[in-house]
Structure 1
Amino acid sequence: MIFLKIIRASRPDYFKSFYIHIMVEIFNDIKKLYTFTAPHPALADYIEFFSETSLEAMRYHIGTAAFTVKLFPSYTPTIWINLGTPYQLVNGKSIQIIDEYTDILLLRNEIIERRNLPTDNIFTVKFTPGGFEAIFGFSQTKIGSAVIPLQQIIPATIIRKLKGLGGLEDRQQLLQELFLEKLEQQKRADPFYLQCIKDTMDAFSGSGMAAANHELAKQLFISDKSLYRYFTRIVGTSPKNYLAITRARIALTAYVANADLFSPYQYGYYDRSHFYKDVVKFTGRKLSAFTS
Protein backbone atom coordinates (compact mmCIF):
# COMPACT_ATOMS: atom_id res chain seq x y z
CA MET A 1 0.00 0.00 0.00
CA ILE A 2 1.52 3.34 -1.09
CA PHE A 3 0.15 6.32 0.77
CA LEU A 4 -0.47 9.61 -0.95
CA LYS A 5 1.83 12.13 0.70
CA ILE A 6 1.09 15.31 -1.23
CA ILE A 7 -0.21 16.41 -4.61
CA ARG A 8 1.08 19.79 -5.68
CA ALA A 9 -1.28 22.31 -7.20
CA SER A 10 -0.56 23.17 -10.81
CA ARG A 11 -2.72 26.29 -10.41
CA PRO A 12 -2.42 27.38 -6.76
CA ASP A 13 -4.08 30.72 -7.55
CA TYR A 14 -7.38 28.83 -7.59
CA PHE A 15 -7.26 28.56 -3.83
CA LYS A 16 -6.91 32.14 -2.61
CA SER A 17 -10.35 32.88 -1.21
CA PHE A 18 -11.68 29.76 0.51
CA TYR A 19 -12.96 31.55 3.56
CA ILE A 20 -15.61 33.53 1.70
CA HIS A 21 -18.12 30.86 2.71
CA ILE A 22 -17.36 28.40 5.53
CA MET A 23 -19.80 25.59 6.31
CA VAL A 24 -19.19 23.70 9.55
CA GLU A 25 -20.65 20.24 10.11
CA ILE A 26 -23.51 20.16 12.64
CA PHE A 27 -23.63 23.96 12.92
CA ASN A 28 -24.51 24.44 9.26
CA ASP A 29 -26.73 22.35 6.99
CA ILE A 30 -23.98 20.97 4.77
CA LYS A 31 -26.27 18.17 3.57
CA LYS A 32 -28.37 20.61 1.57
CA LEU A 33 -25.58 20.70 -1.03
CA TYR A 34 -25.81 16.97 -1.76
CA THR A 35 -28.22 14.24 -2.83
CA PHE A 36 -28.14 11.15 -0.60
CA THR A 37 -29.18 7.54 -1.19
CA ALA A 38 -29.22 4.52 1.12
CA PRO A 39 -27.21 1.40 0.22
CA HIS A 40 -28.55 -1.96 -0.92
CA PRO A 41 -30.02 -3.83 2.11
CA ALA A 42 -27.19 -6.38 1.94
CA LEU A 43 -24.71 -3.52 2.41
CA ALA A 44 -26.63 -1.60 5.07
CA ASP A 45 -24.42 -2.84 7.92
CA TYR A 46 -21.29 -1.71 6.10
CA ILE A 47 -22.17 1.51 4.24
CA GLU A 48 -23.92 4.52 5.75
CA PHE A 49 -24.75 6.29 2.49
CA PHE A 50 -23.85 7.24 -1.07
CA SER A 51 -24.06 10.90 -2.06
CA GLU A 52 -23.29 13.27 -4.89
CA THR A 53 -23.12 17.03 -5.17
CA SER A 54 -26.40 18.61 -6.27
CA LEU A 55 -25.40 21.09 -8.96
CA GLU A 56 -28.74 22.85 -8.62
CA ALA A 57 -28.27 23.23 -4.85
CA MET A 58 -24.73 24.49 -5.43
CA ARG A 59 -25.97 27.20 -7.79
CA TYR A 60 -28.65 28.24 -5.29
CA HIS A 61 -26.67 28.13 -2.03
CA ILE A 62 -23.08 28.73 -3.17
CA GLY A 63 -23.27 30.60 -6.45
CA THR A 64 -19.87 31.71 -7.71
CA ALA A 65 -18.06 31.87 -4.35
CA ALA A 66 -15.32 29.56 -3.18
CA PHE A 67 -16.36 27.71 -0.03
CA THR A 68 -15.02 25.49 2.74
CA VAL A 69 -16.66 22.44 4.29
CA LYS A 70 -15.40 21.51 7.76
CA LEU A 71 -16.00 17.99 9.11
CA PHE A 72 -15.31 16.59 12.57
CA PRO A 73 -13.80 13.16 13.41
CA SER A 74 -16.03 10.12 12.89
CA TYR A 75 -13.75 7.12 12.20
CA THR A 76 -15.91 6.30 9.19
CA PRO A 77 -13.78 5.43 6.13
CA THR A 78 -14.87 7.70 3.30
CA ILE A 79 -14.34 7.58 -0.46
CA TRP A 80 -14.34 10.86 -2.39
CA ILE A 81 -14.48 10.56 -6.18
CA ASN A 82 -13.84 13.88 -7.89
CA LEU A 83 -16.35 14.71 -10.64
CA GLY A 84 -15.46 18.39 -10.68
CA THR A 85 -12.46 20.61 -10.07
CA PRO A 86 -9.41 20.59 -7.74
CA TYR A 87 -9.85 21.21 -4.03
CA GLN A 88 -7.58 21.75 -1.08
CA LEU A 89 -7.74 19.10 1.63
CA VAL A 90 -6.77 19.85 5.21
CA ASN A 91 -6.50 16.54 7.06
CA GLY A 92 -5.41 17.29 10.62
CA LYS A 93 -2.13 19.17 10.19
CA SER A 94 -1.59 17.98 6.61
CA ILE A 95 -2.55 20.21 3.67
CA GLN A 96 -2.75 18.77 0.14
CA ILE A 97 -4.10 19.79 -3.23
CA ILE A 98 -6.34 17.09 -4.69
CA ASP A 99 -6.51 17.68 -8.43
CA GLU A 100 -9.50 17.01 -10.68
CA TYR A 101 -8.16 13.58 -11.69
CA THR A 102 -7.51 12.27 -8.19
CA ASP A 103 -9.91 10.20 -6.08
CA ILE A 104 -9.17 9.30 -2.49
CA LEU A 105 -9.93 7.19 0.57
CA LEU A 106 -9.47 8.55 4.09
CA LEU A 107 -10.45 7.49 7.62
CA ARG A 108 -11.76 10.81 9.01
CA ASN A 109 -9.99 10.30 12.32
CA GLU A 110 -9.11 14.00 12.49
CA ILE A 111 -10.80 17.31 11.75
CA ILE A 112 -11.02 17.70 7.98
CA GLU A 113 -11.59 20.68 5.72
CA ARG A 114 -12.36 20.55 2.01
CA ARG A 115 -11.69 23.98 0.51
CA ASN A 116 -13.56 24.07 -2.74
CA LEU A 117 -14.17 26.02 -5.89
CA PRO A 118 -17.80 26.83 -6.79
CA THR A 119 -17.52 24.16 -9.51
CA ASP A 120 -16.89 21.43 -6.91
CA ASN A 121 -18.64 18.11 -7.64
CA ILE A 122 -17.92 15.14 -5.39
CA PHE A 123 -19.26 11.57 -5.23
CA THR A 124 -19.08 10.10 -1.72
CA VAL A 125 -19.26 6.65 -0.18
CA LYS A 126 -19.30 6.69 3.63
CA PHE A 127 -18.65 3.37 5.36
CA THR A 128 -19.61 2.41 8.89
CA PRO A 129 -16.80 1.64 11.37
CA GLY A 130 -15.53 -1.79 10.33
CA GLY A 131 -17.63 -1.78 7.16
CA PHE A 132 -14.70 -1.06 4.87
CA GLU A 133 -12.76 -4.03 6.22
CA ALA A 134 -15.76 -6.33 5.84
CA ILE A 135 -15.94 -5.52 2.12
CA PHE A 136 -12.28 -5.09 1.17
CA GLY A 137 -10.49 -7.17 3.81
CA PHE A 138 -8.32 -4.14 4.59
CA SER A 139 -8.42 -2.83 8.16
CA GLN A 140 -9.30 0.84 8.51
CA THR A 141 -6.69 1.06 11.27
CA LYS A 142 -4.04 0.90 8.53
CA ILE A 143 -5.44 4.04 6.92
CA GLY A 144 -4.75 6.18 9.97
CA SER A 145 -4.22 9.82 9.01
CA ALA A 146 -3.07 8.97 5.49
CA VAL A 147 -4.85 9.88 2.27
CA ILE A 148 -4.89 6.86 -0.05
CA PRO A 149 -5.31 7.05 -3.84
CA LEU A 150 -8.56 5.24 -4.60
CA GLN A 151 -7.12 3.35 -7.55
CA GLN A 152 -5.10 1.33 -5.04
CA ILE A 153 -8.43 0.02 -3.73
CA ILE A 154 -10.76 0.12 -6.75
CA PRO A 155 -9.52 -0.63 -10.31
CA ALA A 156 -8.92 2.48 -12.42
CA THR A 157 -11.15 1.05 -15.16
CA ILE A 158 -14.14 1.01 -12.79
CA ILE A 159 -13.41 4.54 -11.59
CA ARG A 160 -13.26 5.80 -15.18
CA LYS A 161 -16.51 4.01 -16.01
CA LEU A 162 -18.17 5.50 -12.93
CA LYS A 163 -17.18 9.03 -13.92
CA GLY A 164 -18.69 8.51 -17.36
CA LEU A 165 -22.10 7.50 -16.01
CA GLY A 166 -25.06 9.86 -15.95
CA GLY A 167 -25.85 10.30 -12.27
CA LEU A 168 -25.89 9.17 -8.66
CA GLU A 169 -28.11 6.11 -9.11
CA ASP A 170 -26.01 4.67 -11.95
CA ARG A 171 -22.76 5.32 -10.08
CA GLN A 172 -24.14 3.75 -6.93
CA GLN A 173 -25.31 0.68 -8.84
CA LEU A 174 -21.87 0.18 -10.36
CA LEU A 175 -20.08 0.35 -7.02
CA GLN A 176 -22.68 -1.75 -5.23
CA GLU A 177 -22.12 -4.58 -7.71
CA LEU A 178 -18.41 -4.40 -6.93
CA PHE A 179 -18.96 -4.18 -3.17
CA LEU A 180 -21.40 -7.10 -3.10
CA GLU A 181 -18.95 -9.23 -5.07
CA LYS A 182 -16.11 -8.36 -2.71
CA LEU A 183 -18.28 -8.91 0.34
CA GLU A 184 -19.03 -12.42 -0.88
CA GLN A 185 -15.29 -13.03 -1.31
CA GLN A 186 -14.43 -11.78 2.18
CA LYS A 187 -15.58 -14.84 4.07
CA ARG A 188 -12.56 -14.42 6.32
CA ALA A 189 -13.83 -11.11 7.67
CA ASP A 190 -14.57 -11.15 11.39
CA PRO A 191 -18.34 -10.87 11.89
CA PHE A 192 -17.87 -11.41 15.64
CA TYR A 193 -15.75 -8.28 15.99
CA LEU A 194 -18.11 -6.20 13.87
CA GLN A 195 -21.10 -7.43 15.86
CA CYS A 196 -19.29 -6.58 19.08
CA ILE A 197 -18.84 -2.98 17.92
CA LYS A 198 -22.54 -2.74 17.03
CA ASP A 199 -23.64 -4.31 20.31
CA THR A 200 -21.41 -1.93 22.24
CA MET A 201 -22.95 1.07 20.50
CA ASP A 202 -26.46 -0.23 21.16
CA ALA A 203 -25.66 -0.78 24.84
CA PHE A 204 -24.07 2.67 25.12
CA SER A 205 -27.12 4.29 23.55
CA GLY A 206 -29.43 2.28 25.80
CA SER A 207 -27.61 3.57 28.87
CA GLY A 208 -28.29 7.17 27.91
CA MET A 209 -24.66 7.36 26.74
CA ALA A 210 -23.55 7.22 30.37
CA ALA A 211 -22.19 3.66 30.72
CA ALA A 212 -18.48 3.25 31.38
CA ASN A 213 -16.33 0.86 29.36
CA HIS A 214 -16.29 -1.82 32.06
CA GLU A 215 -20.09 -1.69 32.29
CA LEU A 216 -20.43 -2.14 28.53
CA ALA A 217 -17.94 -5.01 28.53
CA LYS A 218 -19.90 -6.71 31.30
CA GLN A 219 -23.12 -6.46 29.26
CA LEU A 220 -21.36 -8.09 26.30
CA PHE A 221 -19.83 -10.81 28.53
CA ILE A 222 -16.29 -9.86 27.59
CA SER A 223 -13.39 -8.30 29.49
CA ASP A 224 -12.36 -4.64 29.41
CA LYS A 225 -9.18 -5.67 27.61
CA SER A 226 -11.13 -7.55 24.95
CA LEU A 227 -13.40 -4.55 24.35
CA TYR A 228 -10.34 -2.33 23.99
CA ARG A 229 -8.70 -4.80 21.60
CA TYR A 230 -11.80 -5.10 19.40
CA PHE A 231 -12.17 -1.34 19.03
CA THR A 232 -8.51 -0.64 18.33
CA ARG A 233 -8.44 -3.50 15.81
CA ILE A 234 -11.65 -2.63 13.95
CA VAL A 235 -12.20 1.11 14.46
CA GLY A 236 -8.64 2.31 14.97
CA THR A 237 -9.12 4.00 18.34
CA SER A 238 -10.03 3.09 21.91
CA PRO A 239 -13.67 2.51 22.90
CA LYS A 240 -13.42 5.45 25.32
CA ASN A 241 -12.37 7.85 22.55
CA TYR A 242 -14.85 6.56 19.98
CA LEU A 243 -17.78 6.65 22.40
CA ALA A 244 -16.82 10.17 23.49
CA ILE A 245 -16.77 11.29 19.85
CA THR A 246 -20.14 9.65 19.21
CA ARG A 247 -21.70 11.26 22.27
CA ALA A 248 -20.25 14.68 21.47
CA ARG A 249 -21.55 14.49 17.90
CA ILE A 250 -25.08 13.53 18.98
CA ALA A 251 -25.24 15.99 21.89
CA LEU A 252 -23.82 18.87 19.87
CA THR A 253 -26.35 18.24 17.10
CA ALA A 254 -29.15 18.44 19.67
CA TYR A 255 -27.67 21.60 21.19
CA VAL A 256 -27.50 23.35 17.82
CA ALA A 257 -31.06 22.29 17.01
CA ASN A 258 -32.45 23.82 20.22
CA ALA A 259 -30.03 25.27 22.77
CA ASP A 260 -32.83 26.42 25.07
CA LEU A 261 -34.22 22.92 25.55
CA PHE A 262 -30.85 21.17 25.56
CA SER A 263 -29.95 19.22 28.70
CA PRO A 264 -26.46 17.67 28.96
CA TYR A 265 -27.81 15.06 31.39
CA GLN A 266 -29.82 13.46 28.59
CA TYR A 267 -26.53 12.55 26.89
CA GLY A 268 -24.66 11.15 29.87
CA TYR A 269 -22.81 14.33 30.86
CA TYR A 270 -22.37 15.27 34.52
CA ASP A 271 -23.11 18.94 33.84
CA ARG A 272 -22.73 21.65 31.19
CA SER A 273 -19.04 22.06 31.96
CA HIS A 274 -18.48 18.40 31.11
CA PHE A 275 -20.32 18.90 27.82
CA TYR A 276 -18.35 22.06 26.96
CA LYS A 277 -15.05 20.27 27.56
CA ASP A 278 -16.11 17.47 25.22
CA VAL A 279 -17.05 20.03 22.55
CA VAL A 280 -13.52 21.46 22.70
CA LYS A 281 -12.00 17.97 22.38
CA PHE A 282 -14.32 17.12 19.48
CA THR A 283 -14.18 20.36 17.47
CA GLY A 284 -10.85 21.81 18.57
CA ARG A 285 -12.56 25.08 19.53
CA LYS A 286 -14.83 26.48 22.23
CA LEU A 287 -18.56 26.34 21.59
CA SER A 288 -18.71 30.15 21.62
CA ALA A 289 -16.48 30.22 18.52
CA PHE A 290 -19.26 28.60 16.50
CA THR A 291 -22.30 30.22 18.08
CA SER A 292 -21.18 33.83 18.47
Structure 2
Amino acid sequence: MVEIFDNIRKIYTFSNACPELADHIEFFSESSIESTQKYIGSSNFSVKMFPSWTPTFYINLGAPYLITVGQQQRRINSKQDILILRNSIVERYNSPSDNIFTVKFYPGGLEAVLGISQLKCVDRIVDPGAILPSKLLDQIKKPITFAERCELMQDYLLNSFKERQQKDHYLKFVRDCIDNYGLPDMQLNTCEIAEKMFVTSKTINRYFNRVVGISPKNYFSVMRARTALTHYVNNQKDFAPYDFGYYDMSHFYKEVVKFTGKKLIEHAA
Protein backbone atom coordinates (compact mmCIF):
# COMPACT_ATOMS: atom_id res chain seq x y z
CA MET A 1 0.00 0.00 0.00
CA VAL A 2 1.22 3.48 -0.87
CA GLU A 3 0.07 6.57 1.00
CA ILE A 4 -2.09 9.00 -1.01
CA PHE A 5 -2.31 6.58 -3.93
CA ASP A 6 -4.02 4.03 -1.66
CA ASN A 7 -6.32 4.62 1.29
CA ILE A 8 -4.00 3.40 4.03
CA ARG A 9 -6.35 4.75 6.70
CA LYS A 10 -8.89 1.98 6.09
CA ILE A 11 -6.87 -0.55 8.10
CA TYR A 12 -6.67 1.65 11.21
CA THR A 13 -9.01 3.06 13.85
CA PHE A 14 -8.70 6.79 14.55
CA SER A 15 -9.48 9.25 17.30
CA ASN A 16 -9.03 13.03 17.38
CA ALA A 17 -7.28 14.83 20.21
CA CYS A 18 -9.21 16.92 22.73
CA PRO A 19 -9.71 20.62 21.88
CA GLU A 20 -6.79 21.73 24.07
CA LEU A 21 -4.39 19.54 22.06
CA ALA A 22 -6.07 19.73 18.65
CA ASP A 23 -3.62 22.35 17.34
CA HIS A 24 -0.66 20.10 18.15
CA ILE A 25 -1.82 16.48 17.70
CA GLU A 26 -3.30 15.35 14.38
CA PHE A 27 -4.70 12.05 15.66
CA PHE A 28 -4.37 8.88 17.72
CA SER A 29 -4.71 5.62 15.79
CA GLU A 30 -4.43 1.88 16.20
CA SER A 31 -4.17 -1.04 13.78
CA SER A 32 -7.46 -2.78 13.16
CA ILE A 33 -6.96 -6.53 12.81
CA GLU A 34 -10.52 -6.92 11.52
CA SER A 35 -10.07 -4.25 8.83
CA THR A 36 -6.68 -5.64 7.86
CA GLN A 37 -8.20 -9.07 7.31
CA LYS A 38 -11.04 -7.52 5.32
CA TYR A 39 -8.93 -5.37 2.98
CA ILE A 40 -5.54 -7.11 2.98
CA GLY A 41 -6.22 -10.72 3.93
CA SER A 42 -3.63 -13.01 5.51
CA SER A 43 -0.61 -11.94 3.42
CA ASN A 44 2.30 -9.81 4.54
CA PHE A 45 2.22 -6.29 3.14
CA SER A 46 3.96 -2.94 3.35
CA VAL A 47 2.78 0.64 3.85
CA LYS A 48 4.84 3.37 2.19
CA MET A 49 4.50 6.95 3.46
CA PHE A 50 5.95 10.15 2.05
CA PRO A 51 7.59 13.07 3.91
CA SER A 52 5.29 15.11 6.13
CA TRP A 53 7.60 16.46 8.90
CA THR A 54 5.12 15.23 11.51
CA PRO A 55 6.68 13.57 14.61
CA THR A 56 4.97 10.23 15.21
CA PHE A 57 5.07 7.71 18.07
CA TYR A 58 4.69 4.04 17.08
CA ILE A 59 3.94 2.01 20.22
CA ASN A 60 4.13 -1.70 19.45
CA LEU A 61 1.26 -3.84 20.75
CA GLY A 62 1.92 -6.83 18.53
CA ALA A 63 4.52 -8.66 16.48
CA PRO A 64 8.02 -7.58 15.34
CA TYR A 65 8.22 -5.68 12.06
CA LEU A 66 10.69 -4.06 9.71
CA ILE A 67 10.74 -0.34 8.98
CA THR A 68 12.80 1.67 6.52
CA VAL A 69 13.37 5.33 7.38
CA GLY A 70 15.24 7.10 4.61
CA GLN A 71 18.30 4.95 3.97
CA GLN A 72 18.24 2.90 7.18
CA GLN A 73 16.23 -0.24 7.81
CA ARG A 74 15.53 -1.42 11.36
CA ARG A 75 13.90 -4.50 12.83
CA ILE A 76 11.55 -3.47 15.62
CA ASN A 77 10.92 -6.23 18.13
CA SER A 78 7.61 -6.91 19.84
CA LYS A 79 8.54 -4.90 22.94
CA GLN A 80 10.15 -1.98 21.13
CA ASP A 81 8.61 1.43 20.42
CA ILE A 82 9.88 4.18 18.14
CA LEU A 83 9.51 7.89 17.41
CA ILE A 84 10.23 9.15 13.89
CA LEU A 85 9.92 12.59 12.29
CA ARG A 86 8.84 11.37 8.84
CA ASN A 87 11.16 13.87 7.16
CA SER A 88 11.93 11.25 4.50
CA ILE A 89 10.12 8.34 2.86
CA VAL A 90 9.09 5.71 5.44
CA GLU A 91 8.07 2.16 4.62
CA ARG A 92 6.77 -0.27 7.22
CA TYR A 93 6.64 -3.99 6.45
CA ASN A 94 3.66 -5.57 8.18
CA SER A 95 2.18 -8.95 8.94
CA PRO A 96 -1.54 -9.55 9.63
CA SER A 97 -0.74 -9.89 13.33
CA ASP A 98 0.77 -6.40 13.60
CA ASN A 99 -0.79 -4.02 16.09
CA ILE A 100 0.51 -0.46 16.45
CA PHE A 101 -0.78 2.40 18.59
CA THR A 102 0.15 5.71 16.99
CA VAL A 103 0.30 9.34 18.07
CA LYS A 104 0.87 11.75 15.19
CA PHE A 105 1.83 15.36 15.96
CA TYR A 106 1.62 18.40 13.73
CA PRO A 107 4.92 20.17 12.92
CA GLY A 108 6.13 21.73 16.16
CA GLY A 109 3.57 19.80 18.21
CA LEU A 110 6.13 17.59 19.93
CA GLU A 111 7.87 20.68 21.25
CA ALA A 112 4.63 22.44 22.24
CA VAL A 113 3.32 19.46 24.23
CA LEU A 114 6.45 17.70 25.50
CA GLY A 115 9.19 20.31 25.12
CA ILE A 116 11.14 18.16 22.64
CA SER A 117 12.42 19.88 19.51
CA GLN A 118 11.64 17.80 16.43
CA LEU A 119 15.03 18.76 15.01
CA LYS A 120 16.49 16.08 17.30
CA CYS A 121 14.52 13.48 15.33
CA VAL A 122 15.76 14.37 11.83
CA ASP A 123 16.92 11.18 10.03
CA ARG A 124 16.73 9.22 13.28
CA ILE A 125 14.71 6.44 14.91
CA VAL A 126 14.26 7.60 18.51
CA ASP A 127 13.37 5.53 21.57
CA PRO A 128 10.16 7.00 23.13
CA GLY A 129 11.27 5.51 26.44
CA ALA A 130 13.61 8.47 26.75
CA ILE A 131 10.63 10.83 26.45
CA LEU A 132 7.57 9.08 27.89
CA PRO A 133 7.36 7.43 31.36
CA SER A 134 7.84 3.66 31.34
CA LYS A 135 4.74 3.32 33.52
CA LEU A 136 2.62 5.02 30.85
CA LEU A 137 4.00 2.80 28.09
CA ASP A 138 3.37 -0.30 30.21
CA GLN A 139 -0.25 0.74 30.83
CA ILE A 140 -0.86 1.40 27.13
CA LYS A 141 0.45 -2.06 26.23
CA LYS A 142 -1.96 -3.86 28.54
CA PRO A 143 -4.98 -5.67 26.97
CA ILE A 144 -7.27 -2.64 27.10
CA THR A 145 -9.43 -0.91 24.50
CA PHE A 146 -8.30 1.67 21.95
CA ALA A 147 -10.41 4.31 23.71
CA GLU A 148 -8.69 3.54 27.02
CA ARG A 149 -5.26 3.83 25.39
CA CYS A 150 -6.22 7.19 23.89
CA GLU A 151 -7.42 8.41 27.28
CA LEU A 152 -4.21 7.34 29.04
CA MET A 153 -1.98 8.98 26.46
CA GLN A 154 -4.08 12.10 26.13
CA ASP A 155 -4.23 12.66 29.90
CA TYR A 156 -0.45 12.52 30.10
CA LEU A 157 0.09 14.79 27.09
CA LEU A 158 -2.51 17.28 28.29
CA ASN A 159 -0.92 17.52 31.73
CA SER A 160 2.47 18.03 30.11
CA PHE A 161 1.04 20.71 27.85
CA LYS A 162 -0.61 22.56 30.75
CA GLU A 163 2.64 22.54 32.70
CA ARG A 164 4.22 24.35 29.79
CA GLN A 165 1.95 27.36 30.25
CA GLN A 166 4.28 29.90 28.70
CA LYS A 167 3.47 30.10 25.00
CA ASP A 168 6.41 29.64 22.67
CA HIS A 169 6.41 32.50 20.17
CA TYR A 170 8.28 30.44 17.57
CA LEU A 171 5.77 27.59 17.67
CA LYS A 172 2.74 29.87 17.42
CA PHE A 173 4.27 31.82 14.57
CA VAL A 174 5.02 28.69 12.51
CA ARG A 175 1.59 27.23 13.29
CA ASP A 176 -0.08 30.45 12.07
CA CYS A 177 1.98 30.38 8.86
CA ILE A 178 0.94 26.79 8.16
CA ASP A 179 -2.72 27.51 8.91
CA ASN A 180 -2.74 30.52 6.56
CA TYR A 181 -0.88 28.83 3.73
CA GLY A 182 -2.73 27.88 0.57
CA LEU A 183 -4.79 30.99 -0.07
CA PRO A 184 -5.60 31.30 -2.86
CA ASP A 185 -3.37 29.06 -5.00
CA MET A 186 -0.54 27.60 -2.87
CA GLN A 187 2.21 29.71 -4.42
CA LEU A 188 5.59 29.13 -2.81
CA ASN A 189 6.58 32.72 -2.12
CA THR A 190 8.34 33.13 1.21
CA CYS A 191 8.43 36.92 0.80
CA GLU A 192 4.64 37.11 0.50
CA ILE A 193 4.14 34.88 3.54
CA ALA A 194 6.64 37.00 5.49
CA GLU A 195 4.80 40.16 4.47
CA LYS A 196 1.47 38.73 5.67
CA MET A 197 3.08 37.86 9.01
CA PHE A 198 4.80 41.29 9.26
CA VAL A 199 8.32 39.86 9.44
CA THR A 200 11.30 39.62 7.11
CA SER A 201 12.09 36.60 4.91
CA LYS A 202 15.18 36.03 7.03
CA THR A 203 13.03 35.82 10.17
CA ILE A 204 10.50 33.39 8.73
CA ASN A 205 13.31 31.16 7.47
CA ARG A 206 14.96 31.18 10.89
CA TYR A 207 11.68 30.32 12.67
CA PHE A 208 10.86 27.42 10.32
CA ASN A 209 14.33 25.94 10.55
CA ARG A 210 14.15 26.19 14.35
CA VAL A 211 10.71 24.55 14.72
CA VAL A 212 10.24 22.27 11.70
CA GLY A 213 13.83 21.64 10.61
CA ILE A 214 13.58 22.91 7.01
CA SER A 215 12.93 26.21 5.27
CA PRO A 216 9.34 27.40 4.72
CA LYS A 217 9.77 27.03 0.96
CA ASN A 218 10.77 23.37 1.26
CA TYR A 219 8.07 22.59 3.82
CA PHE A 220 5.31 24.23 1.79
CA SER A 221 6.58 22.39 -1.27
CA VAL A 222 5.96 19.12 0.60
CA MET A 223 2.57 20.36 1.80
CA ARG A 224 1.56 21.45 -1.71
CA ALA A 225 2.64 18.16 -3.28
CA ARG A 226 0.71 16.12 -0.71
CA THR A 227 -2.43 18.24 -1.16
CA ALA A 228 -2.31 18.33 -4.96
CA LEU A 229 -1.57 14.61 -5.33
CA THR A 230 -4.41 13.72 -2.97
CA HIS A 231 -6.83 15.80 -5.06
CA TYR A 232 -5.50 14.26 -8.27
CA VAL A 233 -5.94 10.68 -7.00
CA ASN A 234 -9.44 11.40 -5.67
CA ASN A 235 -10.72 13.31 -8.71
CA GLN A 236 -8.40 13.11 -11.68
CA LYS A 237 -11.04 14.29 -14.15
CA ASP A 238 -11.53 17.70 -12.52
CA PHE A 239 -7.93 18.21 -11.40
CA ALA A 240 -6.33 21.51 -12.47
CA PRO A 241 -2.61 21.98 -11.64
CA TYR A 242 -3.02 25.77 -11.60
CA ASP A 243 -5.22 25.52 -8.50
CA PHE A 244 -2.13 24.36 -6.60
CA GLY A 245 0.38 26.81 -8.01
CA TYR A 246 1.82 24.54 -10.72
CA TYR A 247 2.45 26.02 -14.16
CA ASP A 248 1.01 23.04 -16.03
CA MET A 249 0.59 19.26 -15.81
CA SER A 250 4.22 18.71 -16.74
CA HIS A 251 5.29 20.79 -13.76
CA PHE A 252 2.95 18.79 -11.52
CA TYR A 253 4.21 15.44 -12.87
CA LYS A 254 7.82 16.44 -12.16
CA GLU A 255 6.94 17.42 -8.60
CA VAL A 256 5.17 14.09 -8.03
CA VAL A 257 8.32 12.22 -9.10
CA LYS A 258 10.46 14.43 -6.87
CA PHE A 259 8.11 13.93 -3.92
CA THR A 260 7.20 10.24 -4.22
CA GLY A 261 10.04 8.80 -6.30
CA LYS A 262 7.55 7.30 -8.76
CA LYS A 263 5.71 8.35 -11.90
CA LEU A 264 1.94 8.57 -11.93
CA ILE A 265 1.83 6.21 -14.90
CA GLU A 266 3.58 3.56 -12.76
CA HIS A 267 0.83 3.72 -10.18
CA ALA A 268 -1.88 3.62 -12.83
CA ALA A 269 -0.32 0.46 -14.23
TM range (shorter): over 0.9
Is 1:31 aligned to 2:16, yes or no?
Answer: no
Q: Tell me what 1:236 maps to.
A: 213
Q: Tell me what 1:200 maps to.
A: 177
Q: Tell me what 2:55 maps to.
A: 77
Partner of residue 264 from structure 1, selected from 241, 244, 250: 241
Q: Which runs of 5+ in 2 are unaligned?
A: none
SS of residue in 2 equivalent to 1:125: strand
SS of residue in 2 equivalent to 1:69: strand
Q: Which runs of 5+ in 1 are unaligned?
A: 1-22
Q: Tell me what 1:48 maps to.
A: 26
Q: For 1:202 and 1:29, how far apart are their aligned partners in 2?
A: 24
Does structure 2 conserve the Cα–Cα contact (< 8 Å) formed by 1:204 and 1:211?
no
Is 1:111 aligned to 2:95, yes or no?
Answer: no
- Equivalent positions of 1:1-292 (< 5 A) are 23-188=1-166, 190=168, 192-292=169-269
Q: For 1:268 and 1:205, how far apart are their aligned partners in 2?
A: 9
Q: Tell me what 1:11 maps to.
A: none
CA offsets per residue over residues 143-175 of structure 1, 9 Å max, x none?
A: 101001111111112101111141111001001
SS of residue in 1 equivalent to 2:48: strand
TM-score in terms of structure 1 length: 0.89
Pairwise CA RMSD of aligned residues? 1.2
Q: For 2:180 and 2:166, how far apart are their aligned partners in 1?
A: 26
The alignment of Structure 1 onto Structure 2 pairs a total of residues equal to: 269
Letter of the aligned partner of 1:171 in structure 2? R
Alpha-carbon distance, 1:270 to partner:
1.1
Alpha-carbon distance, 1:187 to partner:
3.2
Q: For 1:109 and 1:202, how far apart are their aligned partners in 2?
A: 20
Q: Percent identity?
A: 47
SS of residue in 2 equivalent to 1:148: coil
Q: Tell me what 1:12 maps to.
A: none
SS of residue in 1 equivalent to 2:236: coil
Q: For 1:134 and 1:170, how far apart are their aligned partners in 2?
A: 24
Q: For 1:37 and 1:202, how far apart are their aligned partners in 2?
A: 21
SS of residue in 2 equivalent to 1:35: strand
Alpha-carbon distance, 1:287 to partner:
2.0
Q: Which of 255-264 and 66-75 deviates more?
A: 255-264
Alpha-carbon distance, 1:188 to partner:
4.7
Letter of the aligned partner of 1:172 in structure 2? C
Does structure 2 conserve the Cα–Cα contact (< 8 Å) formed by 1:133 and 1:189?
no
TM-score in terms of structure 2 length: 0.97
Q: For 1:145 and 1:94, how far apart are their aligned partners in 2?
A: 9
Does structure 2 conserve the Cα–Cα contact (< 8 Å) formed by 1:47 and 1:125?
yes
Does structure 1 conserve the Cα–Cα contact (< 8 Å) formed by 2:190 and 2:201?
yes
Q: For 1:135 and 1:91, how far apart are their aligned partners in 2?
A: 24
C-alpha distance 224-237 of structure 1, shift in aligned 2 (>3 A): same
Alpha-carbon distance, 1:194 to partner:
2.1
Q: Which of 58-67 and 169-178 deviates more?
A: 58-67
